[in-house]
Structure 1
Amino acid sequence: MKRSRQIGLIMIISGATLWGISGPMIQWLFQKTELTSADYLVVRLIAAGIILLSFLFFAKQDIFTIWKHPSQWIQLVIFSVLGMLGAQYAFIETVYISNAVTATLFQFLGPVFIMIWVAVLNKKLPSSMQFIALFAALAGVFYLITNGSVQDIVLSKKAIIFGGLTALGFMFYTLHPAALIKRWGTSIIVGWGMLIGGIVLFLANPGFSFFEMTGSLTVSTFSMLILIIISGTVSFVLYIGSLKYLSAVETSLLSSIEPLVATVLSITWLNESFGVYQLLGGAFIVIAVVFLAVPEKETSVVSENIT
């Protein structure tokens, strides 16, 4: 195995584990405080962005040159707002409305959306394995939402909408920043993406106050907030950085440990309970991503063409 591929595997497995852990941690924070999704994200994105960019600056990396190239910073702003902020807000709101496992599973539908996008972009029908994956994903979503009973839908309409937006956001921040990362590096793009996304959300949320928010936190909840910011930042850097060494679909496949980690923690730590059919739905979604990786050679070529 090439060393570059080993690095990619380590990055995505570590990043997926951290992201799987962060979901239940965020859910715990919402249960123990009165923070809204917007309040939490303003702090998380701005703090993480400043920390990461400051580290790069003191490490003598040029973090400002990208702003001298209009075509590049325009793409950076698009990624920051639609990718970084859009995906995280949809994910966090899904956690807030439902739970961490549901949000993680909806996010995991992202590879299916990538498959559909690639098929449309190349004007080519998906392979037989990809059709199986699509069917498994649809079955998974059905069971996740209904728990096997159409008359008694488990998830609210709002949770379903934000869950869908989470999957779309996953697709966007997987595909869009690839060219930017190749030119400027993972850390710079993620750092600016977080800072810009946080500033945009802060401006869109004029009632937010750092002092009021921090004043409402206890030692334990503030410590958890700091821990989430650190783990979330590292997970994003590792996930997006792995795209240098692995294809988008390979990365999506290897991130399959996210829902497993989130589910185990939610059940053992947060005492969450899930219906049998909901767990079955989660398994179908993971199986869908596994099937997506079967036509590996074809998928990797397509991913290179996109980026």
Structure 2
Amino acid sequence: MQNSRRLGLFMILTGATLWGLSGPLIQWFFQRTTISSIDYLVIRLLLAGVFILCFLLTKKQNIFRIWQQPVHLLHLIIFSILGMLGAQYAFIETVHISNAVTATLFQFLGPVLITIYVAIQNKKLPSTLQVLAIFSALIGTYFIITNGSAHNIVMSKETILFGLLTAIGFTFYTLHPTSLIQQWGTTLIIGWGMLIGGIALFIYNHSFEWKQFSQTFTLSTFSLLILIIIIGTLSFLLYIGSLKYLSATETSILSSIEPLVATIVSITWLKESFGVYQLLGGICIVIAVIFLTMPEKVTKSTFTTEQI
């Protein structure tokens, strides 16, 4: 049991570190090439989707079973386009027009939106810690956007828009496929979600040409692209795998090192600079996520007040 727990801790910490590293790598990739975020995402989704589905085939899983269920297939297509494609495009575009840390922190607003949605759906007011988490996230978002001054907004309107769409996309990406994942498993749904989303974006993106795409690459930039895809896919598989050995609460808390890694790498490697209030805002958002992952019994022992 102890060895299994150590393996789970290694997997989640490694996965979160790799995911935090992938954001700065994507930003560096955009700085070194002229490729658009849409063209990049086409390749990323297609290759990652094929990689995951081939991985399942090596495990002798029937990846085509879900295609025999029309209702589930419809929900899969909706998830692939609005969830997988929508969330990833918003995240990649935020990285493209801003930076990796900003995109990562906006993504971390997702759990807060999920909490609000669930409270509305269940017609039940959030608990004390959930209220504190929402309040902390709002303060953090304010600091990130304004750097402490409402008269000095440091982000463009496009960055704020795509950042918020990243949070909304993450929320839909998490909530919509719940029944599909219970029925078919996370890896299968994610694999098909990436492949279908990539195909849909390829069809939509009329300007994409494989020949022109390949001509924009050198060996080093193409290698970097493959590395980013491998890191992103591997980090996801490690995160999913850690759930076999750790609770969802533990994995959620430990995954909070992701924005820390993204910040450290961006400052030391990409020479990004952030205001004091922006860094404080990032800390507030991470604290909000930690609040949301605390179990109910901890909430009651720490705060004597009942739910609001």
TM-score by length of 2: 0.90
Cα shift at 1:15:
2.5
Query: Quick check: 1:32 aligned with 2:55?
Result: no
Aligned pairs for 1:1-307 within 5 A: 9-240=9-240, 251-296=251-296
C-alpha contact 1:190 1:236 (8 A) present in aligned 2 = no
Structure 2 runs not aligned, ≥5 long = 300-308
2:30 and 2:265 map into 1 onto residues whose CA distance is: 16
C-alpha contact 2:249 2:294 (8 A) present in aligned 1 = no
Q: Secondary structure at the match of 2:102?
A: helix
1:3 and 1:82 map into 2 onto residues whose CA distance is: 39
Q: Secondary structure at the match of 1:150?
A: coil
2:134 maps to amino acid: L
CA distance change for structure 1 residues 227 and 102 in 2, over 3 Å: closer, same or farther?
same
C-alpha contact 1:42 1:202 (8 A) present in aligned 2 = yes
CA distance change for structure 1 residues 251 and 90 in 2, over 3 Å: closer, same or farther?
farther
1:197 and 1:3 map into 2 onto residues whose CA distance is: 38
CA distance change for structure 1 residues 230 and 279 in 2, over 3 Å: closer, same or farther?
same
What is the aligned-residue RMSD (CA, Å)? 2.2
CA distance change for structure 1 residues 67 and 88 in 2, over 3 Å: closer, same or farther?
same
1:97 and 1:2 map into 2 onto residues whose CA distance is: 45
Q: Single out whichever of 168-177 and 124-133 deviates more from structure 2.
A: 168-177
C-alpha contact 1:111 1:249 (8 A) present in aligned 2 = no
Cα shift at 1:233:
1.4
Give the corresponding residue for 1:304: none
1:94 maps to amino acid: T
Overall identity of the aligned pairs, in %: 67
Cα shift at 1:161:
0.9
CA distance change for structure 1 residues 211 and 102 in 2, over 3 Å: closer, same or farther?
same
2:137 maps to amino acid: A
Cα shift at 1:244:
6.8
Q: Single out whichever of 38-47 and 73-82 deviates more from structure 2.
A: 73-82
Q: Provide, for residues 14-38 of structure 1, a one-character-per-residue CA deviation record: whole Å limited to 9, x for no partner.
A: 3222110100000000000011110
2:245 and 2:202 map into 1 onto residues whose CA distance is: 34
Cα shift at 1:55:
2.9
Cα shift at 1:250:
5.3
Q: Provide, for residues 27-60 of structure 1, a one-character-per-residue CA deviation record: whole Å limited to 9, x for no partner.
A: 0000000111101000000011112212322442
Q: Provide, for residues 52-109 of structure 1, a one-character-per-residue CA deviation record: whole Å limited to 9, x for no partner.
A: 2123224421010110011211121122112211111110000001000000000011
Cα shift at 1:239:
3.7
C-alpha contact 1:49 1:191 (8 A) present in aligned 2 = yes
Cα shift at 1:13:
3.0
2:226 and 2:52 map into 1 onto residues whose CA distance is: 14
1:243 and 1:276 map into 2 onto residues whose CA distance is: 35
TM-score by length of 1: 0.90
Structure 1 runs not aligned, ≥5 long = 300-307
2:71 and 2:297 map into 1 onto residues whose CA distance is: 32
Q: Provide, for residues 279-307 of structure 1, a one-character-per-residue CA deviation record: whole Å limited to 9, x for no partner.
A: 011011111111112344599xxxxxxxx
CA distance change for structure 1 residues 269 and 142 in 2, over 3 Å: closer, same or farther?
same
Q: Single out whichever of 93-102 and 70-79 deviates more from structure 2.
A: 70-79
1:115 and 1:6 map into 2 onto residues whose CA distance is: 30
1:131 maps to amino acid: V
C-alpha contact 1:16 1:258 (8 A) present in aligned 2 = yes
1:219 and 1:168 map into 2 onto residues whose CA distance is: 36
CA distance change for structure 1 residues 189 and 3 in 2, over 3 Å: closer, same or farther?
farther
Give the corresponding residue for 1:303: none
1:215 and 1:99 map into 2 onto residues whose CA distance is: 26
CA distance change for structure 1 residues 296 and 212 in 2, over 3 Å: closer, same or farther?
farther
CA distance change for structure 1 residues 172 and 2 in 2, over 3 Å: closer, same or farther?
farther
1:270 maps to amino acid: L
Cα shift at 1:188:
1.5
Cα shift at 1:211:
1.8
